[in-house]
């Protein structure tokens, strides 16, 4: 029998738009208490207000938020601390924040490489570092790390981005092997309608990606995949879900 999402305390990074925002809405609608982090606090506050209003009108969940830059271990820790202070526990940590700065490696955009490493790899590690002691104390918990189809394949222009997502896949697999009762799921989306394709400063690349993303999936599709993994019984660990648009070849 599937477990319920109702009452679970779920932290989501990168929750101000895209997959994170969609996950916050869906999981809260299913009764979760969502703790939202992102840099754009005004968007988070508007989302919290929307979720709170929906919760008072129906059986929806609750939401709180805090400005969070995942490149700061201190800020990620503060987000986990907020969840503990407000709800006394953490059931799921969704490491969702990401940057996709696609450009030929020959253009040597070192600053963008560093940002991708800081957000895509270190941001995930900081989320693990903050939540893992809580899960260890509880003897239960669930990490959901958002990867990409680029964690399975490399395309021209995507060397560094793929490198960061390959790293997330390796980290997730290692975490799974050592997790015991702590579950770990990696979600690897293909094209999804988010702000991600606009992450590059290379305008030619951005235009190409926008054309490719015409068949992209709505972010709610990925949120439903997260819900599926969360709803499984405690002894079931859904380790990886790869989701592409049916029309996507890459």
Under 8 Å between Cβ of 167 and 221: no
- Is there a catalytic annotation at residue 126? no
Out of 87, 161, 213, 228, the active site residue is 161
Identify the bridge partners of residue 236 per DSSP, sorted by sequence position: none
Nearest alpha-carbon partner for 51 in 70, 29, 82: 29
Phi, psi of 104 (to 5 degrees): -55, 135
Nearest alpha-carbon partner for 116 in 180, 1, 199: 199
Phi, psi of 24 (to 5 degrees): -60, -45
* DSSP letter assigned to residue 196: G
Q: Mention every residue, 6+ apart, whose C-beta is less than 8 A from residue 168.
A: 120, 121, 124, 145, 146, 147, 151, 186
Under 8 Å between Cβ of 131 and 123: no
Q: Mention every residue, 6+ apart, whose C-beta is less than 8 A from residue 81.
A: none
Q: In what order do the strands lie in the sheet with 92-95?
A: 62-67, 33-38, 9-13, 92-95, 141-146, 182-189, 240-243
Enzyme catalytic residues: 161
């Amino acid at each position: 029998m599937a477990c319920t999402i109702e009452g679970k305390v779920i932290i989501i990074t990168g929750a101000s738009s895209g997959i994170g925002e969609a996950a916050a809405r869906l999981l809260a609608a299913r009764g979760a208490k969502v703790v939202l982090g992102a840099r754009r606090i005004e968007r988070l506050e508007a989302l919290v207000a929307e979720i709170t209003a929906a919760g008072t009108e129906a059986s929806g969940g609750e939401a709180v938020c805090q400005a969070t830059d995942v490149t700061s271990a201190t800020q990620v820790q503060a987000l986990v601390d907020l969840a503990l202070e407000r709800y006394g526990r953490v059931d799921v940590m969704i490491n969702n924040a990401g940057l996709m700065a696609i450009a030929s490696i020959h253009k040597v955009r070192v600053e963008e490489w560093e940002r991708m490493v800081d957000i895509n790899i270190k941001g995930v590690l900081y989320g693990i570092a903050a939540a893992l002691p809580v899960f260890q104390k509880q003897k239960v918990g669930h990490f959901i790390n958002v990867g990409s189809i680029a964690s399975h394949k490399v395309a021209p222009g995507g060397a560094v981005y793929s490198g960061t997502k390959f790293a997330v896949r390796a980290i997730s697999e290692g975490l799974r092997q050592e997790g015991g009762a702590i579950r770990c799921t990696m979600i690897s989306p293909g094209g999804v309608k988010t702000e991600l394709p606009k992450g590059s400063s290379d305008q030619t690349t951005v235009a190409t990606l926008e054309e490719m993303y015409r068949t992209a999936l709505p972010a709610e599709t990925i949120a439903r995949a997260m819900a599926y993994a969360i709803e499984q019984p405690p002894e079931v660990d859904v380790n990886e879900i790869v989701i592409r648009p049916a029309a996507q070849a890459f």
